[in-house]
Every structure is written in C-alpha cells, then in structure tokens.
C-alpha cells in the first residue's frame, strides 16, 4: 500500500537510490539549475541513461519557472532533454521499477533544496506495465532539444520580452520547437469560450488557456485560435474530405475519436463535448475560414469557405 511522503522525504529517498541507478526518467513541468546540479552530483559516478521531459514554454523561462542554463548543463552531460508543451505531470522513474509521482518539480523549491521551499506531496509505487507504457508515451510524444535549440529559444525570448504581450507567449514558433503531431484531449477546448476550466489555471501553456487569457484582445485571440492544433486539425479535415459533401457532426466525431492519442481513449460523449466547444470557438474567431450551418433538420455541418487555402503538413 502506497503512502504520501513530503518533498523533503522524496529528496532523501532519491539521494539514497540515484547513485546506484542505471536508468532515470524524470517528467517535470519545470526544471531549474539548483535541482539539475544536485541531480548530476548524485549520478556522476555511475553515468546512467537519463531522460528529462519538461513543459518549457516561453513564459516558463521568462518567469524563471525553468532555466535555459539548466537545460544546457544537462545536454552537455549527455542527458536526453525533451519538451512537451501541454505537460503538467511530475514523475520520477528509476530503473523502470520504482516510480515517485506527485507535485514536486525538478526545481530547488520543488525538491526542498533551498531554505524557502514549497510543500509538496508524492507517492512511491512499484512500476507495472501500464505505468511504464504511460511514461514511455510521454517521452515518445515529446520533442528532443539540442544545444542549438536552446540558443534559438533564448533568442526568441529576447525578442518577445521587448513586446507588450510577452506574458501571453506560451507557444514556440514552428522553426524553434515544432508541435507534436499527435492530438490529445488537452489540445481541445475543455469548456465553451468564456467559461472557466480548472485545467487552464493548472497549466496555462495549454493552447485554449492562452486563447482565454487573450480574450480581451480579439485579434490576438483569433490568431492564437487559428494556430491551435485543434483548429488546424479540423480545417485539414474540411480540406481533405473524400467526397463533395460537407462534413457532418457525426463524421467529425468519428474522425476525432480515431485521431486522439490519449490512453485510455476518451468516451465518445467526451469527444462530442470537445467538438461542440470547438465549434463555438469557430463561430467566435474563425467564421471567415470555416462555415458551420444546419441543412434542414440535420445536425451541424462544416465546410471550408472558398478562397481559403490551407497547409496540412
């Protein structure tokens, strides 16, 4: 039976286990130099295979939640460092048989490495095949960073800090950090426009959290919406339809259910709710590109407005 432990206890457990480990995977939304240096000091002798996955949005670095120099250090030591911008999980997996899961980030405050720390909690569990598969899916979905990528991130941050809306910059341009091609529930609007979703507060890097944060600036919100993975996916379906008929609500629901990479797959009712929310956003921000109409007594149908070209790659 698993029990809760504090981040101070987590630190002590890791200090006992890590010097002997052969593989280490850490999934942490934020990472800072005090924690990555502490980590390196524990594993420098046995040189295990290390994989680190973080959220690493532009705003994370602007606010100091994560540290580019910490990532540089890790890459120079031969660790694999990856980014997954919708990440919120905190998982420490040692040798594929021990897992700590909770709220503690790989930061000084998260692991009680500094005097004024956060109060965190986590559990220690024995690994199982489904847990290992879940962690592997996170790692595989993330984009690997190089020293050159870190330099491009730094240059981009320097530029956006000069603008008035740097606080809304939660997404990297494609030339800096390409988006994952896989679609997840978290890529879609969890509620209708203007409604509150707890997940948006927990993870403001979610694309629809960004759109809601930009709500007062409709031009910016519209631009962010049209750049979102959910909208680009739906628009690509409208462009690539196999017949001359416009796509009905049920057709889109089936396509979306098959496209989502979440494990376990969401129920179809959940998929329909995501789709309904997305349609509300289209009516608010993208009526110039996609038309939603109801022919006769049928359900909503969507079609591309003529003259709108779209890159599906």
Q: Please give the chain's pLDDT, 313 residues, in tens.
A: 568 899 999 999 999 999 999 999 999 999 999 999 999 999 988 889 999 999 998 989 998 999 999 999 999 999 999 998 878 889 999 998 899 999 999 999 999 999 888 999 999 887 888 888 889 988 988 999 999 999 999 999 998 887 766 555 667 888 898 877 788 898 999 999 999 888 888 777 788 988 998 899 899 899 889 989 899 999 999 888 655 678 899 999 999 999 998 878 889 999 999 999 999 999 999 999 999 998 876 788 998 887 665 544 3
Helix and strand element counts for the chain (H, E): 12, 11
For residues 76-104, b (16+ Cβ closer than 10 Å) or e, as one string?
A: eeebbbbbbbbbbbbbbbbeeebbbbbeb
Please list the residue range(s) of the chain that carry CATH number 3.30.870.10. 4-153
**Under DSSP, is residue 144 helix (H, G, I), strand (E, B) or coil?**
strand
Distance CA 308, CA 313 (A): 16
Helices 249-259 and 229-239: angle between axes, nearest 10 degrees: 120
Distance CA 67, CA 72 (A): 9
Alpha-carbon torsion, ordered 240, 242, 246, 250, to 10 deg: -100
Both structure tokens of 216: 């007062």
Q: Which fold, 4-153?
A: Endonuclease; Chain A (3.30.870)
Distance CA 238, CA 49 (A): 44
Kindly list the strands in the beta sheet with 98-102, ordered across the sheet, starting from the edge strand earlier in the chain.
Answer: 4-6, 121-126, 98-102, 90-94, 23-28, 49-54, 80-83, 143-144
pLDDT at 313: 38
- Segments of the chain assigned E as strands: 4-6, 23-28, 49-54, 80-83, 90-94, 98-102, 121-126, 143-144, 247-248, 290-293, 301-304
pLDDT at 242: 55
Q: Do residues 65 and 140 lie in contact, with contact meaning Cβ atoms separated by under 8 Å? A: no
For residues 124-148, b (16+ Cβ closer than 10 Å) or e, as one string?
A: beeeeeebeeebeebbebbbebeee
Please report where in the chains the tokens 């628009």 appear, as a residue: 235
Alpha-carbon torsion, ordered 245, 249, 254, 258, to 10 deg: 100
């Amino acid at each position: 039976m698993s029990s809760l432990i504090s981040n101070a206890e987590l630190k002590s457990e890791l200090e006992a286990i890590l010097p002997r480990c052969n593989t280490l995977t850490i999934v942490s939304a934020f990472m800072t130099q005090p924690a990555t240096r502490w980590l390196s000091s524990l594993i420098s002798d046995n040189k295990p295979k290390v994989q680190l996955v973080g959220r690493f949005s532009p705003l994370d670095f602007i606010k100091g939640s994560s540290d580019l120099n910490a990532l540089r250090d890790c890459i120079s030591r031969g660790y694999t460092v990856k980014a997954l911008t919708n990440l919120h999980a905190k998982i420490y997996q040692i040798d594929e048989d021990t897992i700590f899961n909770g709220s503690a980030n790989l930061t000084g405050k998260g692991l009680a490495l500094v005097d004024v720390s956060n109060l965190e909690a986590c559990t220690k569990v024995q690994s199982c095949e489904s847990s290992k598969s879940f962690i592997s899916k996170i790692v595989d979905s993330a984009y690997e960073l190089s020293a050159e990528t870190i330099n491009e991130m730094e240059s981009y941050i320097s530029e956006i800090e000069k603008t008035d809306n740097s606080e809304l910059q939660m997404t990297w341009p494609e030339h800096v950090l390409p988006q994952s091609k896989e679609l997840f529930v978290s890529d879609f609007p969890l509620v209708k426009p203007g409604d509150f979703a707890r997940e948006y507060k927990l993870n403001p890097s979610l694309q629809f959290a960004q759109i809601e944060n930009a709500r007062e600036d409709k031009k910016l919100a519209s631009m962010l919406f049209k750049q979102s993975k959910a909208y680009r996916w739906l628009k690509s379906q409208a462009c690539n339809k196999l017949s001359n008929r416009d796509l009905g609500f049920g057709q889109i629901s089936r396509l979306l259910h098959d496209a989502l990479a979440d494990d376990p797959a969401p129920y179809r009712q959940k998929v329909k709710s995501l789709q309904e929310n997305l349609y509300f956003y289209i009516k608010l921000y993208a009526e110039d590109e996609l038309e939603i109409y109801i022919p006769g007594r049928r359900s909503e149908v969507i079609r591309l407005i003529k003259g709108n070209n779209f890159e599906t790659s």
